Amino acid sequence: MHSPFDPALADLLNRPLSIAGKPVRNRLWLAPMAGLGHIAYREVLEEYGGCGLLFSEMCSAKAVPTENNRVSPVFRWREEELDHLVCQIVGATPEEMIPAARRIEDEGFFGIDINMGCSVPGIVKRNAGAALLREPEMALRVVEAVRKEVDIPLFLKFRTGWSPEVEPAAELARRFESAGVDCLVFHPRVAPDKRTRPPVMDHIRSIKEAVSIPVFGNGDVVVAEDCRRMLDTTGCDGVSVGRMAMARPWLFAQWTAGYEPGQDCFRDYAIRLADLLDHYYDPIRALKRYKLFTVYFAANFTFGHSLQSKFLAAKNMDDIRYVARHHLRPGMQLASRPNMNLYNT
């Protein structure tokens, strides 16, 4: 876990960057995800530091205009994070997206992220997320409508599409830029792929070469060497980290500033996240959110399946804390690379 600090990587990640004229802290960002980048997790992440931009979990564009942000499970934030927090929304039509975009800008978010990467059946069935990549004209209408409505930076996360050729994705990237997108986050896998095959890193280069706006690479960045390789081989402007950010939230501070976590880092993280989930959510939702997280956390350990099963057996958050206190100890055997098979879903 304690890989040597790479000053050259830190220099790459700490180069100045602005999105639509707004400066960002560095080029290592939290990826937009569903169900994981919630307010409790983001608070833990901020305590370690080092993350250039935060992205909210996936919010339904239909729900955002009327959500009460004091109680909403997803459209929720701390005031102190708003100036570096991008709100991720998913929807199928301009009519759904426009009121959501207005609300997000009015609340003071750094920017808006349109999700065109999620390929879970419930989202695709509604012609949202990655389904929009099947209908480029509708995808562009969505982008144009949001761009016309707001002035804050507009991000878009997308995949290669529904076929493995990258040329249609590169052409779409050019059209997204023309429609007013300020930054692309690109995951180089076809939409139906549940991470059963490795991402095609060359495709990030193809997207980068197609546009003049910043392009952030995403996909299977597990250790610092992966991050450096992605930057060096694709020419992307920065790196967006998802699942590994859940497994080890200190990696942002580690890779950008040489932070080294203490020997109790896993136990402390597990307990802190439990406490914050308890603070922000009702007991049932807190437990559900925690169990969703455990697969990423357990992947750190050689015997992660056994650890995860203990967390999954918990009946309440006190049980969760008991598992964390009694089964997470210094010196536990760590996988050299977290076990990706645990969370290939």
* Sequence ranges of the binding site for FMN: 32-34, 88, 157, 187, 242-243
Which residues are documented as binding site?
A: 32-34, 88, 157, 187, 242-243
Amino acid at 103: R
- Taking a C-beta distance cutoff of 8 angstroms, is the pair 101, 143 a contact? no
Q: Say which DSSP state 22 is in.
A: E
149-168: burial string, b at 16+ Cβ within 10 Å, e else = bbebbbbbbbbbbeeeebee
Can you read off the two tokens belonging to residue 217?
A: 């690479």
CB atoms within 10 A of CB 235: 14
In angstroms, rounded to a whole number, what is the distance separating the alpha carbons of residues 221 and 227? 6
Candidates 51, 59, 87, 118; catalytic one: 118
> Hey, CA dihedral for 100, 289, 343, 28, is it positive or negative?
positive
Indicate if 118 belongs to the active site. Answer: yes
Can you read off the two tokens belonging to residue 16?
A: 């100045």
- Taking a C-beta distance cutoff of 8 angstroms, is the pair 85, 125 a contact? no
In angstroms, rounded to a whole number, what is the distance separating the alpha carbons of residues 89 and 325? 36
In angstroms, rounded to a whole number, what is the distance separating the alpha carbons of residues 201 and 203? 5
Nearest Cα to 273, choosing from 117, 46, 84?
46
Can you read off the two tokens belonging to residue 144?
A: 């144009």
In angstroms, rounded to a whole number, what is the distance separating the alpha carbons of residues 226 and 167? 25
**Residue 314 half-sphere exposure toward CB, CA atoms < 13 A:** 26
Length of the chain: 345
Catalytic residue numbers read 118
